[in-house]
Amino acid sequence: MKIGILLSAYNSEEYIDECLTPWFNLKEQYDITICCNSGMFKDYADYGYVSKNKPTLQKLVNFDIDFLISTGPKVRLDEITSKNTLLRILKNSCDVVWILDSDEFYTEEEITNIINYLNRTPEYDWYSINFKNHVFTKNLFLDGFSPPRIFRTNRNGGINEFYFDNHINYNDGEDFEKKNNNTIPRDVAWIRHYTWLNEDSRSKEKIRYHKERFVGGCSFEWDEDSDSLKFSESFYKSRNLEVPILHETIDWSSNNFTIDFSRNENKFYIKNITKPQSLDFRFFDGQTGNQIYETNLNLLPETIYFVWPTPTMFKDVDGFKKFRVEVTENKKIIHNEFIHI
């Protein structure tokens, strides 16, 4: 299987080494071709933002990428034109096209696991991948983001083009979302993604881009008083959604389930279960360390479980900020995280 990596990399010199190193370590073993566009998208230039890409471009040159486009002030490309330029190179010479952004960090093990999974599941035309979307700071992340990332090129008459974001048209004219697809399970790979960080100079610029490009706007705002990101309460309120909770791994993390919390319902949800397992859950006040509740759950895949310690606990307590959830299997800790509410 020949693998084509379609990489977008702009103003990301802090990330590019960690992003690309595992791919280059596996490049020959798995017949990987890497194509990259590095340059400010036209929309950002139209907003009047100043390009800051030279350090990123220098690092990309040092990696000896197979096909590298660098766009300057006179030849700005929008995002879709950029992706389609690289797609034309890859789609006729590779068996799969794999979208990669420069702030996405795969390990060599995760890349290998995904390739093995693709080989085991040839029935699917395309795949989404689960990401841990790190927001505000590098230790906090959101769950639940799984965008399209991998497309087989020999299905449905072949890939025609990207038409929006990571959405493609096949040559048979049918909607790609109706084609046979699957999400890579979390126990195969769960990818770290530095998407909206306070320290990242791109974050403030991305807000306007998302507001103008995506229907419904952006889920983040810039707080001028604190000079930092914040969730857009109006975005979530308009959709009758809760502002997301934040996760923080303490020391142990399992990819065989996820834990969520609903403020409105005052419940923990155990979901995204990958295999049968009998686990002990302990819930603590994340500030005082006091244990709130414990229970044993016999988990089965494709089932969602909830834990409801008391109907009113913490719902109206001023200043309560986080839980700690500890999960053990046969008395061994396998998962330990803070849930920031």
Domain with residue 61: its CATH number is 3.90.550.10
**Counting beta carbons within 10 angstroms of the beta carbon of residue 286, is it exposed (0 to 12), middle (13 to 18) or buried (19 or more)?**
buried
Q: Which helix (H) or strand (E) holds 260?
A: strand 258-262
Q: Do 183 and 298 belong to one domain?
A: no
CA 16 to chain centre: 16
CA proximity to 95, closest of 9, 4, 216, 173 = 4
What is the full per-residue pLDDT of the chain (341 aa) written as tens digits?
Answer: 999 999 999 999 999 999 999 999 999 999 999 999 998 999 999 999 988 899 999 999 999 899 999 888 788 999 999 999 999 999 999 999 999 999 999 999 999 999 999 999 999 999 999 999 999 999 999 998 999 999 999 999 999 999 999 999 999 988 899 999 999 999 999 999 999 999 998 999 999 999 988 877 899 999 999 999 999 999 999 999 999 999 999 999 999 999 999 988 889 999 999 999 999 999 999 989 999 999 999 999 999 999 987 655 555 555 678 999 999 999 999 999 999 99
Residue 318 has a pLDDT of: 58
CA 162 to chain centre: 19
Q: Do 180 and 51 belong to one domain?
A: yes
Q: Do 161 and 270 belong to one domain?
A: no
86 and 36 in contact (C-beta within 8 Å)?
Answer: yes
Give domain status of residue 158, yes or no: yes
Contacts of 86 (CB under 8 A, 6+ apart): 6, 7, 35, 36, 37, 67, 69
Give domain status of residue 220, yes or no: no
273 and 257 in contact (C-beta within 8 Å)?
Answer: yes
Give domain status of residue 237, yes or no: no
CA-CA-CA-CA torsion sign (255, 146, 337, 237):
negative
Q: Do 155 and 25 belong to one domain?
A: yes
Q: Do 117 and 35 belong to one domain?
A: yes
Give domain status of residue 101, yes or no: yes
Give domain status of residue 226, yes or no: no
Contacts of 205 (CB under 8 A, 6+ apart): 44, 47, 49
Q: Do 179 and 253 belong to one domain?
A: no
Across-strand partners of 305? Answer: 270
d(C-alpha 16, C-alpha 59), whole Å: 7
Give the end of a domain, one of 195, 217, 235: 195
CA-CA-CA-CA torsion sign (176, 143, 36, 54):
positive
- Provide the domain limits for residue 185: 3-195
Give domain status of residue 185, yes or no: yes
Q: Do 249 and 180 belong to one domain?
A: no
Helix axes 16-26, 54-62, angle to 10 degrees: 20
- Tell me, what CATH number does 313's domain have? 2.60.40.10
Q: Do 50 and 122 belong to one domain?
A: yes
Q: Do 186 and 299 belong to one domain?
A: no
Residue 217 has a pLDDT of: 85
Residue 261 has a pLDDT of: 94
Residue 210 has a pLDDT of: 92
Contacts of 157 (CB under 8 A, 6+ apart): 170, 171, 172
Give domain status of residue 209, yes or no: no
**Counting beta carbons within 10 angstroms of the beta carbon of residue 72, is it exposed (0 to 12), middle (13 to 18) or buried (19 or more)?**
exposed
Q: Do 274 and 159 belong to one domain?
A: no
Residue 317 has a pLDDT of: 52
Q: Do 32 and 157 belong to one domain?
A: yes
Tokens of 1: 């299987």
Residue 313 has a pLDDT of: 56
Q: What is the DSSP letter of 175?
A: B
Residue 75 has a pLDDT of: 85
Give domain status of residue 214, yes or no: no
Give the end of a domain, one of 169, 195, 221: 195
Tokens of 338: 């803070």
Number of domains observed in the structure of the chain = 2
Q: Do 18 and 152 belong to one domain?
A: yes
